Amino acid sequence: MELKYGCNPNQKPASVYVKTANANATPANTAPLPIEVLCGKPGYINLLDAFNGWQLVRELKAATGLPAATSFKHVSPAGAAVGRPLSDTLRKIYFTGDGELSPLACAYARARGADRMSSYGDFIALSDECDESTAKLIQVEVSDGIIAPGYSQKALEILKSKRKGTYCIVKIDESYVPAPIETKDVFGVTFEQGRNELKINADLLQNIVTENKNIPADKLEDLIISLITLKYTQSNSVCYVKDGQAIGIGAGQQSRIHCTRLAGQKADNWYLRQSPEVLGLQFADNIRRPDRDNAIDVYISDDSDEVLADGVWQNIFKVKPAEFTREAKKAWLKTNTDVALGSDAFFPFGDNIERAYRSGVKYIAEPGGSIRDDNVIETCNKYNMAMAFTGIRLFHH
């Protein structure tokens, strides 16, 4: 398939193809692509997001038995979730309206709503056939495209109406099995490795090294969700999960503590959006969805004066909100509990645990193997956390 260009407009020509068993395969001598483009013209980065996202949701579905969705941006998930029902509060902060939601629609609402700022202009992946309920949620969001194993007729009609008929709609062949060896060219040099076919399940979470050995079944599932999400997130990365969805993903950082802080701040923002202060905001009738999301993000940040200033708030809110003080935010965040946290490599210092605790983390999964494991375990014990050593690293590049 010929593409408009590569990562950037100056990178031409660009195409995608499946190599045959012939090591010298060229675009003229290839196997069929495992996708069918039903609408639009996906680009190079779109398809990187699509293929990584599809693998993620396929594994989440296999591991949990629930439909799954992810919202991808620049080859890392902004959110990922399974189709657990939404509470009234989550429906409000995800702006789903009052209509009935299918389990797949719940999964997408969770994946898109976890970090609405990062999900702006996302590429969506769904584990199941896209139904009308899910398509209606996607219809009103700013998105570049979607990949799924199928689409109902009504869902396809809805999605084809996006972006004046140019929205990228990709159908993936569920039966497609990639070659066991994958290659990647960098600077004219070909790298080759076996695909990461590691199956992530509860068996990886049996080695609980902390004094607290109790990880309930639903929290084990949250840890599994965090690890599968990390498997397709650019490293270094950590992932906070609660109630079947990622609530904070820190991707592509050189330092693990920066991953933990970044993801922790996102998890905090997700929870702050459920506070009475945010739920009570009264927005102007004509405000655009992205402007509303921006306003919420600023309101819960330390820069809230930007949206509360005279001459500004009148364009955003019907009624000027009260200041959301730092003390009030800290008090609200203390009520967030039982969060699960996965890390794609070991924590080298206990400072990661200290930061995770501030965002309500109670359950942790990481490979172990640091020379300071004892310090990390001791810090977990201080807060009565339960931590499992998986023995498996999940770097992804």
User: What is 72-119 written as a DSSP string?
Assistant: EETTEEEEEEE-PPPPHHHHHHTT--SS---HHHHHHHHHHHTTTTTT
What is the per-residue pLDDT for 25? Answer: 56
What is the per-residue pLDDT across 11-54, written as a single tens digit (0 to 9) for each? 999 999 998 766 565 656 678 999 999 999 999 999 999 999 99
Q: Are 340 and 361 in contact, with CB atoms under 8 Å apart?
A: yes
Q: Are 94 and 69 in contact, with CB atoms under 8 Å apart?
A: no
Most confident residue range from 17-21, 81-85, 298-302 = 81-85
More confident residue, 19 or 217: 217
- Give the chain's largest Cα–Cα span: 67
Catalytic residue among 10, 22, 24, 397: 397
What is the per-residue pLDDT across 324-359, written as a single tens digit (0 to 9) for each? 999 999 999 999 999 999 999 999 999 999 999 999
Is 199 among the residues known to form the active site? Answer: no
What is the per-residue pLDDT for 311? Answer: 85
What DSSP state is assigned to residue 266?
Answer: H
Task: Name the superfamily (CATH) of residues 194-272+333-389.
Answer: AICAR transformylase, duplication domain (3.40.140.20)
What is the per-residue pLDDT for 310? Answer: 87
Is 258 among the residues known to form the active site? Answer: no
Catalytic residue among 74, 92, 160, 258: 74
Q: Is the pLDDT of residue 76 over 90?
A: yes
Contacts 24+ apart (CB under 8 A), 391-394: 391/204, 391/207, 391/367, 392/198, 392/204, 392/367, 393/344, 393/345, 393/346, 393/367, 394/196, 394/198, 394/227, 394/230, 394/231, 394/235, 394/344, 394/345, 394/367
More confident residue, 10 or 31: 10
What is the per-residue pLDDT for 30? Answer: 79
- Give percent above pLDDT 90 in the chain: 92
Is 396 among the residues known to form the active site? Answer: no
Q: For residue 271, give every residue at least 6 positions away whose Cβ sits within 8 Å of its Cβ, in sequence order, or none.
A: 247, 332, 333, 336, 359, 360
CA–CA dist 377, 363 (Å, integer): 12
- pTM of the complete model: 0.95
Catalytic residue among 73, 171, 242, 362: 73
What is the per-residue pLDDT for 259? Answer: 96
Q: What is the CA radius of gyration of the chain?
A: 22
Average pLDDT of the residues of the chain: 94
What is the per-residue pLDDT for 129? Answer: 98
For domain 34-172, give the CATH number. Answer: 3.40.140.20
Task: Tell me what the mean pLDDT of segment 160-183 comes to.
Answer: 95
Catalytic residue among 46, 171, 219, 236: 236
